[in-house]
C-alpha cells in the first residue's frame, strides 16, 4: 500500500497542491482562480468549497485515489501564537481557522486538509506546518512603546525555515548552530533574525510593520496615520486595505506586478525606479537593524521569495548589506517541498507532532 503525502497551500489567486511518494514528486499543480471568480464570494471562507473541489478534481484527473493518501499537510494559517513545527488539525484549530476576525486565505489550507481527511476515511491524517503566527521572539523584541500594542510575530515562517535550513546544510552546519538574517520578499516582506534555531525578532509582514512590498504599506509615520484615520475620508476597512492590499507598489504605481514595474523602469520611468528601489532600501534597513540584534555575529543573509528573481532588487540589497555578511539568494519559494519534507518526517517519526490548544 502506498503512503502518499498531499501538500496544500492556498494563496490569493491560487491553490497549490503536490503529491509525493517516497520523496518523489508525482503531481505538482497550481490552480489559478481569476479575480472575476473570486469576486463572486463575499468572504474568504466562502471560497472553501470551490477550492476544495478544485483540489479533488486535480487528484481525480491524475488518477490519485485519496484512499492511498496517508498525510494531508497544509501551510499554517493565522492561529494563536505557537512554536514552530507540525500540528494536528484538531477541533480547536478548525474553530480558530474559521474566525472572521482572523480571516485570511492561508486559513483555507487547514480547512481543506481536514475536509479531504473526512472524505478519505480514518487512515488519512491532517496536519499544518509552520503557522504564520509562530512566536519565538525574545520578550524584549515585543516591546513597542505602547503597552496596548505589543509587537507581534507574523511572518513567512515556512519559507524562512526552509531556506535557513538549506543554507545551514550547505555550509555543513545545523540550523540550530547558526545565526542568520532571512528576508522573504513576496507580496509581503518579512525579515527575521534566526539565532540558533529560533526566530528571535521579525517584522510583522502582514499588516503594517517593516519594509513596504508590492501590495503592503509596511511601516508608515504613526502620527500621520492617526490623522488619516480620523480625517473622515476613509472607513476602518479602507484604511486596512491601504495597509494590506492596496499599499506599496500598488499605491504608488497602480500595480503590484513587479514585472510590469521593471518594464516601466526599462522604458525610463524614473518614478517607477524610485518606488521599486525603495523596497530594496527599506529591506536593507531592516536587515541592518537585525544585524544589531544578532550582535554582528551573522553566518548568512538569505534572500528568498518572488522578488528575489529581480536583479534590480537583489543588487540594491546586496550592495547595502554585503559588508554585514555572506548574501545568498534563493529565488521563489519552495514551500510545497518544505511541506512534503514535514510529511516525510512525520511518517518516519523524526519529529513529534504537536497538539494545538
pLDDT tens by residue, 182-232: 999 998 999 999 999 999 999 998 888 999 999 999 999 999 999 999 999
Cα–Cα distance for residue pair 145/201, rounded to 1 Å: 16
What's the pLDDT score for residue 1? Answer: 57
Cα–Cα distance for residue pair 346/68, rounded to 1 Å: 17
β-pairing, 69-75 vs 4-11, is parallel
Indicate the number of domains in the chain.
2
Domain containing residue 254: CATH number: 3.30.420.40
What's the pLDDT score for residue 122? Answer: 63
- Is position 140 within any domain? no
**Residue 179 pLDDT greater than 60, yes or no:** yes
321 and 245 within one domain: yes
Band of pLDDT at residue 22, cut at 50, 70 and 90: confident
- Is position 216 within any domain? yes
201 and 109 within one domain: no
In angstroms, how far apart are the furthest CA atoms of the chain? 64
**Residue 153 pLDDT greater than 60, yes or no:** yes
95 and 165 within one domain: no
Residue 75 sits at φ, ψ, to 5 deg, of -65, 135
Band of pLDDT at residue 124, cut at 50, 70 and 90: confident
What's the pLDDT score for residue 351? Answer: 94
Cell numbers for 276: 521599486
- Is position 211 within any domain? yes
16 and 98 within one domain: yes
- Is position 230 within any domain? yes
342 and 219 within one domain: no
Q: What rounded mean pLDDT belongs to the chain?
A: 94
Each residue of 25-51: pLDDT tens digit? 999 999 999 989 998 998 999 999 999
327 and 339 within one domain: no
- Is position 145 within any domain? no
**Residue 335 pLDDT greater than 80, yes or no:** yes
> What pTM did the predictor assign?
0.90
**Residue 52 pLDDT greater than 80, yes or no:** yes
- Is position 308 within any domain? yes
Q: How far is CA 78 from the centre of its chain?
A: 11
194 and 95 within one domain: no
127 and 166 within one domain: no
- Is position 48 within any domain? yes
What's the pLDDT score for residue 247? Answer: 95
Band of pLDDT at residue 123, cut at 50, 70 and 90: confident
What's the pLDDT score for residue 149? Answer: 95
165 and 126 within one domain: no
- Is position 142 within any domain? no
CA dist list (Å): 348 to 74, 209, 248, 342, 344 = 18, 39, 43, 10, 6
233 and 206 within one domain: yes
**Residue 283 pLDDT greater than 60, yes or no:** yes
Band of pLDDT at residue 333, cut at 50, 70 and 90: confident
Range of the structural domain that residue 130 is part of: 4-135+335-347
169 and 57 within one domain: no
Amino acid at each position: 500500500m502506498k503512503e502518499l503525502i498531499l501538500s496544500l497551500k492556498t494563496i490569493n489567486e491560487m491553490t497549490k497542491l503536490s503529491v509525493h511518494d517516497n520523496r518523489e514528486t508525482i503531481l505538482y499543480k497550481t490552480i489559478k482562480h481569476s479575480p472575476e471568480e473570486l469576486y463572486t464570494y463575499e468572504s474568504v471562507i466562502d471560497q472553501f468549497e470551490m477550492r476544495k473541489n478544485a483540489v479533488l478534481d486535480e487528484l481525480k484527473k491524475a488518477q490519485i485515489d485519496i484512499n492511498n493518501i496517508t498525510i494531508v499537510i497544509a501551510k499554517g494559517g493565522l492561529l494563536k501564537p505557537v512554536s514552530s513545527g507540525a500540528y494536528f488539525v484538531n477541533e480547536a484549530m478548525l474553530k480558530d481557522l474559521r474566525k472572521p476576525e482572523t480571516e485570511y486565505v492561508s486559513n483555507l489550507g487547514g480547512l481543506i486538509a481536514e475536509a479531504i481527511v473526512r472524505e478519505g476515511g480514518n487512515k488519512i491524517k491532517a496536519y499544518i506546518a509552520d503557522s504564520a503566527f509562530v512566536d519565538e521572539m525574545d520578550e524584549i523584541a515585543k516591546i513597542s512603546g505602547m503597552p496596548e500594542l505589543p509587537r507581534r510575530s507574523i511572518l513567512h515562517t515556512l519559507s524562512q525555515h526552509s531556506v535557513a535550513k538549506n543554507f545551514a546544510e550547505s555550509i555543513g552546519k545545523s540550523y540550530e548552530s547558526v545565526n542568520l538574517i532571512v528576508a522573504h520578499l513576496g507580496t509581503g516582506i518579512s525579515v527575521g533574525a534566526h539565532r540558533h534555531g529560533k526566530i528571535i525578532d521579525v517584522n510583522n509582514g502582514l499588516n503594517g510593520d517593516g519594509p513596504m512590498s508590492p501590495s503592503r504599506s509596511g511601516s508608515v509615520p504613526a502620527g500621520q496615520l492617526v490623522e488619516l484615520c480620523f480625517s473622515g475620508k476613509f472607513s476602518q476597512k479602507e484604511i486596512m486595505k491601504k495597509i494590506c492590499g492596496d499599499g506599496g507598489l500598488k499605491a504608488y504605481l497602480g500595480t503590484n506586478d513587479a514585472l510590469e514595474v521593471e518594464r516601466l523602469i526599462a522604458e525610463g520611468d524614473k518614478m517607477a525606479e524610485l518606488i521599486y528601489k525603495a523596497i530594496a532600501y527599506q529591506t536593507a534597513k531592516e536587515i541592518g537593524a537585525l544585524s544589531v540584534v544578532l550582535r554582528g555575529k551573522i553566518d548568512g543573509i538569505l534572500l528568498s521569495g518572488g522578488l528575489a528573481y529581480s536583479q534590480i532588487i537583489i543588487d540594491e540589497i546586496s550592495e547595502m548589506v554585503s559588508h554585514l555578511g555572506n548574501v545568498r539568494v534563493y529565488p521563489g519559494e519552495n514551500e510545497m517541498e518544505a511541506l512534503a519534507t514535514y510529511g516525510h518526517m512525520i511518517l518516519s517519526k523524526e519529529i513529534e507532532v504537536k497538539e494545538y490548544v
